Amino acid sequence: VKSIDRVHSTCPVCDSPIRPDVDSPVSTPILCTFRFRKPTPTHPKMTNIKSVLTKFYDEYTNNTPKKLKIVDAYLLYILLTGITQFVYCCLVGTFPFNSFLAGFICTVSCFVLGVCLRLQSNPQNKAQFFGISPERGFADFIFAHVILHLVVMNFIG
């Protein structure tokens, strides 16, 4: 147990104030209260993470256009589909390997095309996509999906 200056004493782990240990017979060692309690959601580090996530959610819901939220929902759906396919592959196997490979490649490709659509339709990215309207980006997205699904159907056999 270290003796720490009482004026500026904070825990190096949790940055909480450190209290003196009154039961100690030695001069006046100071102990962090963090070691004697279980971490709770009100702990400084947990509060910081919670406040960051709350601020992120509030900023997202208030400042993101509805069109981008729909694209984000599509991306979440595609991500969950890819995770489900991967877990199924790990648990059950890849017996019809061409089918699994075609489905997984299609999922990854759909996610990439969705991210491209989100980038092109985001109003903050108009400078990078000068001359490409959101409607043109959506038409490119649909055209690329048609080509992708034709290739996937051909690969399955």
Dump pLDDT digits (tens) for 3-50: 544 445 666 666 666 655 555 554 444 555 555 555 555 566 777 888
30 bridge partner residues: 20
1 vs 12, 15, 25, 95, 113, CA distance in Å? Answer: 14, 17, 12, 60, 58
Assess whether pLDDT exceeds 80 at residue 128: yes
Closest C-alpha among 27, 34, 33, 36 to residue 3: 27
pLDDT of residue 65: 92
User: Rounded to two decimals, what is the model's pTM?
Assistant: 0.66
156 bridge partner residues: none
Q: Using an 8 Å Cβ cutoff, are 121 and 68 in contact?
A: yes
Structure-block tokens of residue 136: 């043109």
pLDDT of residue 28: 45
Q: List, as one string, the DSSP characters of 63-125.
A: HS-HHHHHHHHHHHHHHHHHHHHHHHHHHT--SSHHHHHHHHHHHHHHHHHHHHHHHHH-GGG
Neighbours of 81 (CB within 10 A): 16
Assess whether pLDDT exceeds 80 at residue 109: yes
Share of the chain above pLDDT 90, in %: 44
